[in-house]
Amino acid sequence: MKALVVYASQTGNTRKVAEAMARALGCEARAVGELDAAALEAESLFAGGAVYATHDHGLDPALTGFIARLDPRKVGTAYAFSTGFERSDASGLVARALAARGVAVGRERFACKGQLFKLFMRGHPDARDLEAAAAFARRAAGQA
Ligand SMILES: Cc1cc2nc3c(=O)[nH]c(=O)nc-3n(C[C@H](O)[C@H](O)[C@H](O)COP(=O)(O)O)c2cc1C
């Protein structure tokens, strides 16, 4: 079973979650900019991001561009995750981008709070968030 965690993270919140998932699965967590999306092969692909006012309250274009270059034939099932405000539905945006690319998307998604400039949701993702992320990844990849 080959699993891979990919993320776009401007202030580090989503990267922390990605790394917790990767530790739980014994696989790599890689920033989208480090990878050639078209060549990527994975049985379970975990894809995470967040929304930004600087991108019209949407996902980082580095993430949507990466997803748009994935080869759906090389990806088994993709699982969306995100950090941020609960109302942002960033994980839903990731899931919809994956589905629009023709990638099979797992029904379950993971989202947790992600602090914004230490003003909002300070300290998140915290240890509990990261444990929940790890548990989600194990469950989704069938390793629970
Ligand atoms: C520059 C910037 C703009 C943001 N704009 C929004 C926004 O428009 N709506 C929102 O719900 N969250 C917004 N957020 C909050 C982020 O989605 C949240 O902090 C997220 O956890 C950031 O993830 P990252 O640390 O992986 O980049 C913004 C954060 C930053 C840094």
Residues with CB under 6 A from ligand 1: 9-15, 50-54, 57, 83-85, 88, 114, 116
State the pLDDT confidence band at 120, using cuts at 50, 70 and 90.
confident
Domain ranges (residues) in the chain? 3-140
- Atom index in ligand 1 nearest the CA of residue 53 equals 8
pLDDT digits (tens, 9 = 90+) for 87-116: 889 999 999 999 999 999 999 999 999 999
pTM of the model: 0.96
Distance CA 107, CA 126 (A): 25
pLDDT of amino acid 142: 86
Percentage of the residues of the chain whose pLDDT score is greater than 70: 98
**Alpha carbon 71 to its chain's center:** 17
Residues 6+ apart with CB under 8 A from 46: 3, 4, 5, 6, 18, 21, 78, 79, 81, 137, 140
Task: Say which CATH superfamily domain 3-140 falls into.
Answer: Flavodoxin domain (3.40.50.360)
What spacing in Å lies between the alpha carbon of 58 and ligand 1's midpoint?
9
What spacing in Å lies between the alpha carbon of 52 and ligand 1's midpoint?
5
- Atom index in ligand 1 nearest the CA of residue 87 equals 11
State the pLDDT confidence band at 1, using cuts at 50, 70 and 90.
low
